């Protein structure tokens, strides 16, 4: 499938507009858009993914959860395929956080190929940030807990894309080492 630059640029512009006021939880309060671009970069550069639907979904993967954007808006702007991937990777925010996290672990193996790719790139980006740009209010134990959960989700995504899986493994290994250095009492 030829790369659809127009779809990618439209998704990037839409994500930038809808997430424009959002910031990451790191000490620098990085623009949230940086995370979305990182997910698309990981898909393309590491995973070798050039499918425009997957890349657009990577840019838009949090839009239903974190903005007032409706599924109908996504469908009209980007089509049913992009919407389907986004819906697969979106949590139901009406559920308690612990239940949402458990459902991500349970649902990971049954996701479509495209959704698995987006979910894996998202986990790589988040694991990196938890280690290198952690939320300022997260103690070491919460960061370690996040890594444990992310690894459980990633296990359900195995067999999807070797380079992305290797990147996840390396990223989580480095993250665990970095966080253990931050842990009090480590010699």
Q: What whole-number distance in Å separates Cα of residue 36 and Cα of residue 46?
A: 15
Active site annotation includes 65? yes
Q: What whole-number distance in Å separates Cα of residue 67 and Cα of residue 69?
A: 5
Q: What whole-number distance in Å separates Cα of residue 51 and Cα of residue 49?
A: 6
Handedness of CA 107, 133, 44, 63 (dihedral sign): positive
Catalytic residue from among 26, 65, 73, 91 = 65
Catalytic residue from among 26, 38, 51, 66 = 66
For residue 44, the 8-state DSSP code is I
User: CA-CA-CA-CA torsion for 78, 80, 81, 82, nearest 10 degrees?
Assistant: 40
SS3 of the chain: helix, strand, coil, percent, to 5: 70, 0, 25
Question: 29-43 burial, b if ≥16 CB within 10 A, otherwise e?
Answer: eebbbbbbbbbbebb
Is residue 83 a contact partner of residue 115, using CB atoms and an 8 Å limit?
Answer: no
Active site annotation includes 72? no
Active site residues per annotation: 65-66
């Amino acid at each position: 499938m030829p790369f659809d630059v127009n779809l990618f640029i439209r998704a990037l512009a839409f994500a930038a507009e809808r997430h424009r006021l959002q910031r990451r939880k790191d000490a620098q309060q990085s623009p949230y858009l940086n995370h979305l671009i990182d997910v698309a970069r990981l898909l393309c550069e590491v995973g070798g993914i050039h499918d425009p639907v997957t890349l657009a979904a990577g840019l838009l993967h949090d839009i239903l959860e974190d903005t007032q954007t409706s599924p109908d808006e996504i469908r009209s702007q980007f089509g049913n395929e992009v919407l389907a991937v986004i819906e697969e990777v979106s949590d139901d925010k009406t559920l308690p956080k612990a239940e949402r996290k458990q459902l991500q672990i349970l649902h990971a193996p049954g996701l479509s190929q495209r959704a698995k790719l987006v979910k894996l790139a998202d986990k790589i980006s988040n694991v990196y940030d938890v280690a290198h740009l952690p939320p300022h209010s997260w103690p070491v134990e919460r960061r370690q807990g996040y890594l444990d959960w992310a690894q459980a989700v990633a296990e359900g995504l195995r067999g999807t894309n070797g380079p992305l899986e290797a990147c996840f493994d390396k990223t989580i290994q480095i993250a665990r080492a970095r966080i253990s250095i931050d842990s009090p009492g480590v010699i």
